[in-house]
A and B are shown apart, each in its own frame.
Chain A
Amino acid sequence: SQTIHQWPATLVQPVGSPLSLECTVEGTSNPNLYWYRQAAGRGLQLLFYSVGIGQISSEVPQNLSASRPQDRQFILSSKKLLLSDSGFYLCAWSVRSGTGELFFGEGSRLTVL
């Protein structure tokens, strides 16, 4: 069966520090991968998605970047965090050329102080 792992689960970082959130998927090949951010009262905002290694699409201009160094690994990064980067970050995967159904990780809570 397929599983998705996301870490760290909780992170407290000072403003201006770097960020790296990692996500890996097991049990499937060539998945589409996604990073969403969830802020209170704002639902889920799509940040990045990837249809293959090295292929990243950005949905929202921001202080963040994403990379996909391996087929089942997706990394969310920042060089310098802002207060507004605080939130709950969710990684997800879907079957390529599927129906769009997403399978989510457990999320990473980022607090920028």
Chain B
Amino acid sequence: AQSVTQPDIHITVSEGASLELRCNYSYGATPYLFWYVQSPGQGLQLLLKYFSGDTLVQGIKGFEAEFKRSQSSFNLRKPSVHWSDAAEYFCAVVNQAGTALIFGKGTTLSVSS
């Protein structure tokens, strides 16, 4: 069965520093992968997605992610974090039936000044 692992429950970075959030997936074929962001008490907003092609995908708010098949990873990066980036981040993969998304448990990002 498909699964998504986000190894880091909570990360704190300084404002202006770079960020990398890790995501590993388990999937037999080429996965459809997503990163979502959630502010407290809100729904989820799509940051970026990967279906095929270029393994480095650009998203909103200056985020990017790189698909690495050999490592079964889809890590999210941002070169310079802003205080407004503090939120919870979820990685997700489409299930094998193509009917739903399977989410990781999320990584909470705190930004220090």
Name A residues whose Cβ lies closer than 8 Å to a Cβ of B: 6, 32, 34, 36, 41-44, 46, 49, 51, 57, 59, 88, 90, 92, 99-107, 109
Contact status B105-A49, CB under 8 Å: no
A44 to B106, CA, bound (A): 9
Q: Which of B32, B44, B105 contacts A90 (CB 8 A)?
A: B44
Contact status B51-A99, CB under 8 Å: yes
Provide the B82-113 mask, 1 if CB < 8 A to any CB of A, else 0.
Answer: 00000000101010001111111110000000
A92 to B36, CA, bound (A): 13
**Inter-chain contacts of A44 with B (CB < 8 A):** 44, 90, 103, 106
Contact status A100-B105, CB under 8 Å: no
The minimal Cβ–Cβ distance linking A91 to chain B, given in whole angstroms, is 9
A73 to B43, CA, bound (A): 18
Contact status A43-B104, CB under 8 Å: yes
B67 at the interface (CB under 8 A from A): no
A44 to B9, CA, bound (A): 14
In the complex, the chain B residue whose C-beta lies closest to that of A36 is B103
Q: Which of A88, A102, A106, A107 contacts B101 (CB 8 A)?
A: A102
Contact status B32-A49, CB under 8 Å: no
Q: Interface size bucket, B side?
A: 20 to 34
Q: Which of A34, A41, A88, A100 contacts B32 (CB 8 A)?
A: A100
Contact status A106-B43, CB under 8 Å: yes
The minimal Cβ–Cβ distance linking B106 to chain A, given in whole angstroms, is 5
Contact status A42-B101, CB under 8 Å: no
Contacts A43-B104, A44-B103, A46-B102: A99 and B42 contacting too (C-beta < 8 A)? no
**Inter-chain contacts of A90 with B (CB < 8 A):** 43-44
Contacts A43-B104, A106-B43, A107-B41: A101 and B99 contacting too (C-beta < 8 A)? no
7 A-B pairs with the lowest CB-CB distances in the bound complex, closest first: A100-B94, A43-B105, A104-B43, A44-B103, A104-B44, A106-B43, A43-B103
Provide the B5-27 mask, 1 if CB < 8 A to any CB of A, else 0.
Answer: 00001000000000000000000
**Extra A-B contacts (13), CB below 8 Å, given A41-B105, A44-B90, A100-B100:** A43-B103, A43-B105, A44-B106, A46-B100, A88-B41, A90-B43, A92-B44, A100-B98, A102-B46, A102-B92, A104-B36, A104-B44, A107-B41
